A and B are shown apart, each in its own frame.
Chain A
Amino acid sequence: MKTKNIMIVGVGGQGSLLASKLLGRMLLQKGFDIKVSEVHGMSQRGGSVVTYVRFGDKVYSPVIDKGEADFIVSFELLEAARWTEYLKPGGKIVVNTQQISPMPVITGAAEYPQGLAGQMQAAGLDVDAVDALALAQQAGSSKAVNIVLMGHLSRYFDFAEEEWLQAIEQCVPAKFLEMNKTAFRLGRNI
């Protein structure tokens, strides 16, 4: 199988490491070769962060380059717009419609562009816009945005819901398990 590429992008602190951990666990169970590249250190502090997940028969590079991503899963609207160049022609963007202003916008040095989801669609990109924050809150925690989005992404994979839920069990502490399972189902089924 040719290598598949998933980019998880967002703002430092939004929980992208748990999302990539879940994907990694799931894909390992399926017997794929995998590489997951993470960001640690300074850029984690509220900056733009990106995690690369690649899987296939044999994966070489740990990163995804422009024009290569089959999926971009974005935890924040502006971040999806930032990385569109990395999407493969025909790839899919799954984006949380939540907006988090970066510091240049907060200080008034720049403006948060309006209507980004529409702009992406108008540019011919295949975009699923999801209010993951509302669904996460419905599941019981605004922190579950990451699992809601993984639930949505899971629609495009040929794996049974039960297998995903088992992978979640291996990745989250017991006391948050039911909440995360609810969040996953909401993302997958709504």
Chain B
Amino acid sequence: MKTLMLGNEAVARGLYEAGCSFVSSYPGTPSTEITECVALYKEVYAEWAPNEKVAMEAAFGASLAGKRSFCAMKHVGLNVAADPLFTVGYTGVNAGFVIGVADDPGMHSSQNEQDSRHYARAAKIPMLEPSDSAEALAFTKLAYQLSEQFDTPVFIKMCTRVAHSQSVVEPGDRVEVSKPYEKNPQKYIMMPGNAKRRHPIVEERTEKLTVWAETAGINRIEDGTDHSIGIITSSTSYQYVKEVCGDRYPVLKLGMIWPLPKQKIVDFAASVDKLIVVEELDSFIEDHCRQLGIDCVGKALFSCIDEFSQNLVAEKLGVATQSGTKLDAAIPMRPPVMCAGCPHRGLFYTLAKNKVTALGDIGCYTLGAVAPLAALDTTICMGASISGMHGFTKAGGGEGRKVVAVIGDSTFMHSGVTGLINMAYNESCGTVIIVDNSITGMTGHQQNPTTGFNLKGDPCTKIDLETLCRAVGINRVRVVDPYDLAACDAAIKEETAVDEPSVIISRRPCALLKYVKHKKPIIANSDKCIGCKACMKIGCPAISVIDKKAHIDNTLCTGCGVCAQLCKLDALTAAKED
């Protein structure tokens, strides 16, 4: 029966139908829902790993054991997993092994706009690229077939607009796949002697895959009535091209993005007067065409910056578009903000107040960089706050300055703990603040090793952050409640003053968690308010000053009380609880 599915949900369905029985991932927008959705199938073991490298190695192990396996990550997560990636490309697989990676053109929720297709070529691992949910399902199943036929891991490459768009799919049935494990050191022990024998096999495999790509149905030509232009495209760019051009120009729609066919592209180019390549981000297909000696237009027309849309494609192809009416009024921006009641707010207020240099990390708390808190100095990648702070203080950056690293509980488990070990081992100073909101917040509330629950929602071993930090050699470990501004202030002042590494765990569950009970909204006593705006320094969306009086939005306020601590005049007070 036909149904609507998100692209990510369709990948999960494809995993189920292909008989995949092991999934290990780390959440990351826009890849997260694949793993959340596949966890709903009882036939599939699915887990959150602490990071993408662990996830990929675990999925490799499951393939080795004879079960079809999968791991998912966002584009930058693939950087973390790049170490195993390049070598599992050599070993190949036992049962099928598929890697899901999701790019984010336009950076809706990412720190860079990297193009993951380069990894396919660099690691010599084939990559399939669906353009809607129906293809996401079909290509996922095909990926397992190719993985076993050609003895290679296979990428499924998503992008935000395919991952987070729903379209119509027709689900099918599951097949079960199981293979015996046989010890094979020449294939699986990649020491130089063996790896030297595997590399030529990898190159032969690429040749065979290229031959396959020449006739594969997923690299299809859709003929057009006007051969003055021919277009090579894939993924969501294909949808924009078809939206604009319909059946006018011939289109070579590529479903396999690496290795790319050669003769098929040469023949297609010869059938049209002018060849245009429409691809988001880098010139990947275009470079391939040029290597084949084909003259084409790509990045000269379609930028490597930002995502595309139908109007952009229309404009570049000289097709007229219409625009609507723009109002004359200046419309203020509405950037994302920390939620009302967010436990990070009190901490960031205290950091800003103490003029602390704060190296930040990846998560909701990156919003601590936004005015009026403006409490962060850097955001690079997962874990970089701690290792960055170590280098900063070792290089003398801590002289006359209070320096901290701010990192979430999930990010700390992902790759913060290795940086902390470095701090202990190399006798650093500086304070690591773990903002522990008891969940992976930014990606939409995923469990992690510190929460005590697994992906399926069952209770499990809970990693104790205090014990872990002490075990790696940090002597000063303390816990504060970020709703208590005085306690936060004391902890930051004391810990940044000592000449040894320290950890402050700022602990309070995310205010959006279902089990977190909110207090009654704070009461604004307008007779006492003088409109000094001290309460506005925390950037809470529930507070506004109207006619020089503080006003609380009762639908948003969670009664956290941070604003009340800033008001010297008792104009903001806690309501009596029942």
Contact (Cβ within 8 A) A103 B327:
no
- Residues in A53-77 with C-beta less than 8 Å from chain B: 59-63, 65-69
Q: A63-B161, A65-B310 are in contact. Are A24 and B166 (CB under 8 A)?
A: yes
Q: Does B334 contact A (CB under 8 A)?
A: yes
Q: Does B426 contact A (CB under 8 A)?
A: no
Contact of B109 among A24, A43, A79 (CB under 8 A): A43
Q: Tell me the nearest residue of chain B to A86, going by C-beta.
A: B324
Most buried by B among A40, A107, A124: A40
Q: How far is the CA of A43 from the CA of B364 in the complex (A)?
A: 10
Q: How far is the CA of A81 from the CA of B331 in the complex (A)?
A: 7
Q: Does A161 contact B (CB under 8 A)?
A: no
Interface residues of chain B: helix, strand, loop or mixed (majority)? loop
Contact of B240 among A36, A60, A91, A107 (CB under 8 A): A60
Contact (Cβ within 8 A) B543 A106:
yes
Contact of A85 among B324, B330, B338, B533 (CB under 8 A): B324
Q: How far is the CA of A69 from the CA of B325 in the complex (A)?
A: 12
Most buried by B among A11, A39, A48, A61: A61
Contact (Cβ within 8 A) B243 A61:
yes
Contact with A along B531-551 (1 / 0, CB 8 A): 001001001010111000000
Contact (Cβ within 8 A) A39 B324:
no
Contacting residues, chain A, for B165 (C-beta < 8 A): 35-38, 62
Binds A, one of B2-10, B177-185, B263-271, B495-503: B2-10
Contact with B along A25-48 (1 / 0, CB 8 A): 100100001111111111111111
Contact of B539 among A66, A107, A112 (CB under 8 A): A107
Contacting residues, chain A, for B555 (C-beta < 8 A): 142
Contacting residues, chain A, for B371 (C-beta < 8 A): 103, 107, 109
Contact (Cβ within 8 A) A78 B331:
yes
Contact (Cβ within 8 A) A46 B337:
yes
Contact (Cβ within 8 A) A12 B330:
no
Q: How far is the CA of A113 from the CA of B333 in the complex (A)?
A: 12
Min CB distance, B432 to chain A, in Å? 24
Q: Does B442 contact A (CB under 8 A)?
A: yes
Q: How far is the CA of A133 from the CA of B177 in the complex (A)?
A: 53
Contact (Cβ within 8 A) B4 A104:
no
Contact (Cβ within 8 A) A106 B309:
no
Q: A40-B109, A45-B339 are in contact. Are A78 and B4 (CB under 8 A)?
A: no
Q: Does B291 contact A (CB under 8 A)?
A: no
Contact with A along B322-343 (1 / 0, CB 8 A): 1111111111111111110000
Contact (Cβ within 8 A) B324 A67:
yes
Contact (Cβ within 8 A) A123 B327:
yes
Contact (Cβ within 8 A) B325 A124:
yes
Min CB distance, B447 to chain A, in Å? 18
Contacting residues, chain A, for B366 (C-beta < 8 A): 42
Contacting residues, chain B, for A65 (C-beta < 8 A): 309-311, 321
Contact (Cβ within 8 A) B330 A113:
yes
Contacting residues, chain A, for B240 (C-beta < 8 A): 60-61
Contact (Cβ within 8 A) A45 B4:
no
Q: Does A120 contact B (CB under 8 A)?
A: yes
Contact of B323 among A48, A79, A85, A119 (CB under 8 A): A85
Q: A45-B367, A66-B323 are in contact. Are A38 and B336 (CB under 8 A)?
A: no
Contact (Cβ within 8 A) B331 A41:
no
Q: A28-B3, A42-B108, A120-B327 are in contact. Are A89 and B322 (CB under 8 A)?
A: yes
Contacting residues, chain B, for A69 (C-beta < 8 A): 324
Contact (Cβ within 8 A) B326 A40:
no
Q: Does B444 contact A (CB under 8 A)?
A: yes
Contacting residues, chain A, for B329 (C-beta < 8 A): 81, 113, 116, 119
Min CB distance, A75 to chain B, in Å? 12
Contact of B332 among A13, A25, A61, A110 (CB under 8 A): A110
Q: How far is the CA of A102 from the CA of B168 in the complex (A)?
A: 36
Q: Does B53 contact A (CB under 8 A)?
A: no
Q: How far is the CA of A34 from the CA of B337 in the complex (A)?
A: 32
Q: Tell me the nearest residue of chain A to B372, going by C-beta.
A: A107
Q: How far is the CA of A112 from the CA of B310 in the complex (A)?
A: 32
Contacting residues, chain A, for B372 (C-beta < 8 A): 107
Q: Tell me the nearest residue of chain A to B242, going by C-beta.
A: A60
Q: Tell me the nearest residue of chain A to B555, going by C-beta.
A: A142
Given contacts A89-B324, A113-B331, 15 further A-B contacts (CB under 8 A): A34-B167, A35-B165, A38-B6, A40-B33, A41-B108, A44-B444, A47-B334, A48-B334, A61-B236, A61-B309, A67-B311, A103-B334, A103-B539, A104-B333, A111-B332
The contact sample of 22 A-B pairs, CB cut-off 8 A, is: A28-B4, A35-B132, A38-B164, A40-B109, A41-B444, A42-B108, A47-B335, A60-B310, A61-B239, A63-B310, A66-B321, A66-B324, A67-B323, A84-B326, A102-B335, A103-B334, A106-B543, A107-B371, A108-B545, A110-B330, A113-B332, A119-B329
